[in-house]
Amino acid sequence: MAAFKELVFSGVQPTGNLHLGNYLGAITKFVTLQESHDCIYCVVDLHAITVPQEPLTLTNNIREVTAAFIASGIDPKKHIIFNQSQVPEHAELAWVLNCTARLGWLNRMTQFKEKAGKDRENVSVGLYAYPTLMAADILVYRATHVPVGEDQKQHLELARDIAQKFNNDFADSIASHGFGEEFFPSPEPLIQGPATRVMSLRDGNKKMSKSDPSDYSRINLTDDADAIATKVRKAKTDPEPLPSEEKGLETRPEADNLVGIYAALSETTKAAVLAEFGSAQFSTFKSALVDLSVAKLGPIGGEMKRLVADHSYIDSVLADGSERASVLARRTMNSVKDVLGFIRR
């Protein structure tokens, strides 16, 4: 494989109710990776409109995700934070990749099947084409590493297939333009740790999700200490005390989920949590989880609220990030046009 400079890219949709799953599955990884890599973090507003959005709410949600990135510790000066719609090359490359991806590949995407449900004929074409836009988001920067939650694994695999097919389809043109053997890297998913799929607090078999109608199913990043405490105390559990070994969690999805959340928040493993809380009752464990969650999330939620109110600061971060992202994206898009045989200015 050709050598590509390591670069991290990931995105979060501004669809409201940013939750603990988004935080543990994605945003905490973003924060860690900025110590070792150049990183580009995107508020993917073009993805958000694949389902209906109210314009004023969307604007607020774009600011809220941006605030969450900064409040969690991402440095917008050292790295790039921006919103997708300010860099038109995402949509431009997505069209090219729509012509590379095969219908059969997209037909296999489980997220589309889940989100479209029985009303398939009535969902937007954008919802169906979502994964090719996601591939474009990553490949327009030729990013090599993508931290995401477990639910995005299939889309990442598709992005790799699209990159490889583009490299194969245009191999001769890629070589003749001096780009070597591979134009796009095969982006690697980074899905690690004890909370890659945080589950609903009401149902251990369902993903914690922004769109769940029950607010008790998730901990929102902007929840205050009382709300966090109430939600954790009400979280569904079973009557048994906690096991001492991870194997004992296998048939207990709710217990597994809470232990995973505790492990991720305290930056340890499920085994270590069980070594401490094995044979404890849930009442004891939940009290500790409330304290830990409030200590970790309280300051982030407070800072998010402060930042969100400062529109001019947030908008200036996005403008600055978009300018820097545009330079990189334009470079790739110009090369793509050369490879395809388009005439450009």
Tell me which residues are annotated as active site: 115, 207, 210
* Residue 28 beta carbon to ligand AQP: minimum distance, rounded to whole angstroms: 10
Which residue in the block uniquely carries the two structure tokens 């493993």? 269
Between 12 and 318, CB nearer to ligand AQP: 12
Residue closer to ligand AQP, measured from CB, 19 or 142 = 19
For 58, what's the count of Cα atoms within 13 Å in the CB-facing half-sphere?
16
Contact residue for ligand AQP among 37, 165, 202, 210 (CB under 6 A): 210
Of the residues 209, 217, 222, 322, which one makes contact with ligand AQP according to CB under 6 A: 209
Q: What are phi and psi of 108, to 5 degrees?
A: -85, -5
Task: For residue 25, state whether it binds ligand AQP (rule: CB under 6 A).
Answer: yes
Rule CB under 6 A: choose which of 197, 252, 305, 324 binds ligand AQP.
197
Under the binding rule (CB under 6 A), the answer on residue 22 touching ligand AQP is yes
In the complex, minimum distance from the CB of residue 207 to ligand AQP, in angstroms, rounded to a whole number: 4
Closest CA to 280 of 268, 292, 289: 289
Q: Is 8 in the site for ligand AQP (CB under 6 A)?
A: no
Cα–Cα dist 109/69, whole Å: 28
State which of residues 8, 26, 94, 158 lies at the interface with ligand AQP (CB under 6 A): 26
Q: Is residue 152 within the footprint of ligand AQP (CB under 6 A)?
A: yes
Q: Does 149 bind ligand AQP (CB under 6 A)?
A: yes
**Of the residues 151, 161, 203, 303, which one makes contact with ligand AQP according to CB under 6 A:** 151
Q: Which residue has the tokens 């009400």?
A: 234
261 binds ligand AQP (CB under 6 A): no
Chain centroid to CA 237: 27
How far, in Å, CA of 235 to CA of 259, rounded? 12
Tell me if 40 contacts ligand AQP by CB under 6 A: no
Answer for which of 49, 140, 208, 336 binds ligand AQP (CB under 6 A) is 208
21, burial (CB in 10 Å: exposed 0-12, middle 13-18, buried 19+): buried
What one-character DSSP code corresponds to residue 190?
Answer: E
Closest CA to 305 of 42, 79, 60, 48: 60
Q: Is 207 in the site for ligand AQP (CB under 6 A)?
A: yes
Q: Which residues contact 18 (CB under 8 A, 6 or more apart)?
A: 12, 64, 65, 68, 210, 220, 221, 222
Residue 93 near residue 334, CB atoms below 8 Å: no
309 by Cβ neighbours in 10 Å (0-12 / 13-18 / 19+) ranks as: exposed
**How many binding residues for ligand AQP (CB under 6 A)?**
19
Q: Write out the two tokens for 333.
A: 């898009």
Give 18 or 273: the residue with its C-beta nearer to ligand AQP: 18
Regarding 21 and contact with ligand AQP (CB under 6 A), the answer is yes
Segment 97 to 136, residues that bind ligand AQP, using CB under 6 A:
none
> Which of 7, 8, 15, 325 forms a contact with ligand AQP (CB under 6 A)?
15
- Which residue, 28 or 167, has its beta carbon nearer to ligand AQP? 28
Using the contact rule CB under 6 A, the part of the chain among 191-199, 244-252, 286-294, 322-330 near ligand AQP is 191-199
H runs (alpha helix) in the chain: 20-22, 28-33, 45-48, 55-72, 89-98, 103-107, 110-116, 125-139, 153-169, 171-176, 225-234, 253-265, 270-277, 282-309, 311-340
Residues binding ligand AQP (CB under 6 A): 12-13, 15, 21-22, 25-26, 148-149, 151-152, 196-198, 207-211
